[in-house]
Structures are given as C-alpha cells and as structure tokens.
Amino acid sequence: MEVAGKTAIVTGSAVGVGRETALKLAGRGANVVVNYSRSEEEAKQTLANVEALGAKALLVRADVSRDDEVRAMVAQAIERFGGVDILINNAGITHFVDFRDLEGMTEEKWDHILAVNVKGLFFCSRAVLPEMQRRGAGCIVNIASTAGVRGVGSSIAYCASKAAVINMTMSFAHAFAPEIRVNCVAPGFIDTRWHLARKGAGDYESYRDAVAGMTPLKRACKPEDVAQVILSLVEGADMATGQTLVVDGGMTTHM
C-alpha cells in the first residue's frame, strides 16, 4: 500500500510502539489519528511530533474498550480526513500477576485485560470496516505479543488475550478479504517505560541487559524496531494476510 495521502488510526499512540508507529506513518506522508485514553500530555507530544514532520494529525481521546467511543473516533477521522485506510490496533494493558497466584488473577483484572486487548481490538476493526470496504482497500495491523505464542508474560490473562489477538487476526483476514489485509506483529520484550516503572531503574537495567544477552541479536528490542516491522506490513506486504510476525531478536526460536 502506498502510505502517502492515506489516513491511519493508531490506537494507544501516546507513547512507545504506538508513538513510533505514528511517526513513521507521518514520515511517509500519512494523515495520523493519535489516540489515547489516559496519557494526555504524552499524546499531545506525539501530535506535535507528527505535525512537525509535516503530516496532518488529529488527537482523539477514546477508550477502545468502549464501542461508542471507538465509533465516535472513527467518525471524527472520516469527517476530518475523508476516510480511513489504515488501522494499527496497538492499545493494550496488563496486570502483573504471578502465574501461580490464581486468586490474585481476579475477575476484575480478567475483565479489564480482555476488554481492552480483545474486545477493544474487535470494536476498532469493526468500526473501520465499512469505510475501508467503501474505499475498496484497507490495511489492519494488530499488535499481539510473544506471550500469546509462548504462554509466558505478565499474567495468564495477558497471555490469553494476546493469543486471542493472533487468532482474531486469522479470522479477520478471512472475513475482511479481499479488500482488506489483516496481519499481526508479536513483539517480545520491548525497552519501554512499562517495565521501568515496574522494576525500578537499577533492577530494570540488569533485567534488560539479561534479556538482550539471551537473544541471538544480542540487543533489546526498542519501540522503533517494532514500528519498523509494522510499517513493512502496511507498505510492503501486499500479498500477506492473516500472518503473525514475531519481533524478539530471535529469542523465541533460540529457546
């Protein structure tokens, strides 16, 4: 797909992978809808960075787990830019709960994770579908995790939610064809503030370096690395749909 002049919605684009993806799309000449639910100041910074690249941008606060807010976001994008061509389903959350602590994985935490990571992805994809079909083309990239492949991650519910993302990618690829391609990126560890906030600076650096040492590429994945792969699925994979591409420096195949 030629990105220049197209309109992309990037959910959860205030920070991390979402921000880097928004910037890469903007750098290719796309109009970008910057979405956030809580990180307003960071989202405004993303917006400013996108506009600094010369791209047109729209800032929309929307909780992807709420269907009404998702539909309103898509409507705003269509009103502002005339359509939607690209959807990056990046928004996601977790709760850190040891796998052995089954009682700690409460119903409330299950509901929160599944509402954002699974239902939110469904709501966003459903909302853009009619417009992409009307335009006769579209591209959706879902962000899963190696947690959905290996069953190892921040919590059992998180792993289950990301496995669902991978499965939905295949289902959507069949349901949305032939006009719309749907693919998935499954990152491993990403060097972001998410892990830093949980572990603290000293412990985090040791953890990051240990993870990097276990990968064949001997470095930790950064948000821009994942964004690069996302962009490749939008721009240069016109014959690929229903696929999941793991981005973890080779760790999954090495273990």
Judge whether residue 201 has pLDDT over 70: no
Judge whether residue 197 has pLDDT over 70: no
Separation CA 56–CA 1 (nearest Å): 19
Separation CA 25–CA 51 (nearest Å): 12
Q: Give the rounded distance of the alpha carbon of 164 from its chain centre.
A: 14
Percent of the chain scoring above 70 in pLDDT: 95
In this prediction, residue 254 carries a pLDDT of 57
In this prediction, residue 198 carries a pLDDT of 61
Task: Write the DSSP assignment of 106-169 as a string of letters.
Answer: -HHHHHHHHIIIIIHHHHHHHHHHHHHHHHT-EEEEEE--THHHHS-SS-HHHHHHHHHHHHHH
Judge whether residue 182 has pLDDT over 60: yes
CB atoms within 10 A of CB 69: 19
Q: What is the pLDDT of residues 69-128, one digit of tens each?
A: 999 999 999 999 999 999 999 999 999 999 999 999 999 999 999 999 999 999 999 999
Percent of the chain scoring above 90 in pLDDT: 82
Which residue's structure tokens are 């499965």?
A: 167
| Rounded (5°) CA angle 180-189-181 | 5
* Least confident among 56-60, 226-230, 250-254: 250-254
End-to-end CA distance of the chain: 35
Among candidates 10, 36, 33, which has minimal Cα distance to 21? Answer: 10
The answer to whether the pTM exceeds 0.75 is yes
Separation CA 5–CA 28 (nearest Å): 9
In this prediction, residue 239 carries a pLDDT of 96
The catalytic residue among 36, 158, 204, 207 is: 158
Judge whether residue 171 has pLDDT over 90: yes
Distances from the Cα of 197 to the Cα of 126, 127, 170, 200, 204, angstroms: 33, 33, 33, 6, 9
In this prediction, residue 63 carries a pLDDT of 98
| Rounded (5°) CA angle 165-228-195 | 65
Separation CA 73–CA 35 (nearest Å): 8
Strand stretches in 37-90, DSSP E: 57-61, 86-89
Separation CA 102–CA 76 (nearest Å): 42
207 has catalytic annotation: no
Question: Could you tell me the domains of the chain?
Answer: 7-191+222-246 (3.40.50.720)
Separation CA 193–CA 180 (nearest Å): 33
CB atoms within 10 A of CB 109: 19
